[in-house]
């Protein structure tokens, strides 16, 4: 498993690494569906709820058709699902994401609605999909779908920092098969710090405030909040403060 380009830092006496593949345009790729929520801590910053709902690879198990030097015919092989459509997304949501949420969600919040935010990709199902709504309301849960606002990439907490963080951890591995790649990604997902994840959610709130200041535009820069410094001083906020005057200005702007 590889990428089209890789950067290597070598000592003067080290040999250049050798990478071979049949074609750089046909390197196997595996897509993942990740679900996280904001972690929760007590007053002593001890974790009481992990944000990691789960990360699910779009792969399938197929028996090998022919015998090779690596395996005999009939051995189950893990292969990427190359065509991701609405039916695949629906099955993953109902069969994987919903059970994971129901198993891990804090018991004292079962009566509160749980929103799953998805972006506006064409392969995602509608928020009123009958099969999903039926499964989402079983066992006393109230789980709903919602869309990410269009043209607002910073409102996706996964793209805002989570994917880059676990990708940097995954790149420390050197997978050669699909199974090894899946294991490396899952390992990186589980190893990612919940404290760092909490900081990403604070950055998300900062982006929301900046969007309000820009009157809905995405022409803004994400300000540095010095979260690491605040954490060391024990003053890391649980939520970013928003000026009530700004909120009223936005409401007046929307009603104009």
> Tens digits of per-residue pLDDT, 30-89?
899 999 999 998 888 888 888 899 999 999 988 888 888 777 888 888 889 988 999 999
What is the predicted pLDDT for the residue at 163?
A: 86
Arithmetic mean of pLDDT, 126-144: 93
pLDDT of residue 2: 64
Question: What distance in Å separates the CA atoms of residue 218 and residue 87, rounded to the nearest whole number?
Answer: 32
In a domain, 184, yes or no: yes
Q: Does pLDDT of 251 surpass 80? A: yes
Domain that holds residue 213: 25-82+148-255
Does residue 190 belong to any structural domain of this protein?
A: yes
- Say yes or no to pLDDT of 158 above 70: yes
Per-residue confidence band for 210, with pLDDT thresholds at 50, 70 and 90? very high
Q: Which among 152, 154, 155 has a CA at the least distance from the CA of 115?
A: 155
36 within domain boundaries = yes
Whether 135 maps to a domain, the answer reads no
Higher-pLDDT residue of 179, 98:
98
Q: Count CA atoms closer than 13 A to 60's CA, side-chain side.
A: 9
At 239, list the tokens. Answer: 């939520």
The residue with tokens 């974790």 is: 47
What residue spans of 56-119 are helical by DSSP H?
Answer: 86-92, 98-104
Is residue 180 predicted with pLDDT exceeding 90? no
Distance CA 55, CA 183 (A): 11
Tens of pLDDT, residue by residue over 225-235, are: 888 888 888 88
> Which uninterrupted H or E stretch holds 32?
strand 32-36
The answer to whether residue 98 is domain-embedded is: no
Residue 106 covered by a domain: no
* This prediction's pTM: 0.83
| CB contact set of 27 (below 8 Å; sequence gap of 6+) | 1, 2, 3, 4, 21
Give the confidence band of 142 by pLDDT, cuts at 50, 70, 90: very high
**Number of domains present in the structure of the chain:** 1
**Confidence bin at 130 (pLDDT 50/70/90):** very high
Does any domain span residue 167? yes
Q: What is the pLDDT of residue 233?
A: 86
pLDDT band at 1 (very low <50, low <70, confident <90, very high): low
Residue in 193, 198, 200 with CA at minimum distance from that of residue 155: 200
Give the DSSP per-residue string, 174-233: ---SHHHHHHHHHHHHHHS-HHHHHHHHHHHHHHHHHHHHTTT-S---PPP--HHHHHHT
40 assigned to some structural domain: yes
In order of 6, 191, 225, 236, 243, the CA distances from 199 in angstroms are 29, 16, 10, 9, 20
Q: What is the pLDDT of residue 131?
A: 95
Is it the case that residue 243 has pLDDT exceeding 80?
A: yes
Token digits of residue 111: 């009566």
């Amino acid at each position: 498993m590889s990428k089209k380009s890789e950067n290597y830092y070598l000592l003067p006496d080290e040999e250049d690494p050798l990478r071979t593949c049949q074609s750089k345009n046909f390197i196997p790729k595996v897509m993942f569906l990740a679900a996280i929520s904001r972690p929760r801590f007590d007053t002593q910053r001890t974790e009481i709820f992990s944000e990691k709902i789960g990360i699910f690879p779009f792969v399938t198990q197929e028996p090998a058709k022919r015998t090779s030097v690596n395996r005999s015919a009939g051995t189950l092989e893990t292969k990427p699902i190359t065509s991701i459509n609405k039916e695949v997304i629906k099955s993953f949501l109902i069969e994987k994401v919903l059970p994971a949420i129901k198993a891990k969600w804090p018991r004292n919040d079962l009566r509160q609605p749980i929103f799953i935010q998805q972006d506006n990709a064409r392969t995602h199902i509608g928020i009123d999909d009958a099969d999903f709504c039926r499964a989402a309301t079983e066992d006393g849960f109230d789980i709903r779908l919602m869309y990410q606002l269009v043209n607002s990439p910073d409102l996706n907490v996964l793209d805002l920092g989570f994917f880059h963080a676990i990708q940097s951890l995954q790149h420390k591995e050197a997978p050669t098969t699909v199974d090894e790649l899946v294991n490396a990604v899952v390992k990186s997902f589980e190893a990612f710090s919940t404290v760092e994840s909490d900081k990403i959610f604070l950055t998300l709130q900062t982006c929301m405030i900046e969007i309000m200041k820009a009157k809905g535009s995405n022409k803004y820069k994400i300000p540095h909040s010095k979260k690491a410094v605040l954490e060391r001083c024990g003053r890391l906020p649980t939520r970013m403060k928003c000026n009530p005057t700004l909120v009223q200005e936005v409401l007046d702007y929307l009603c104009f």
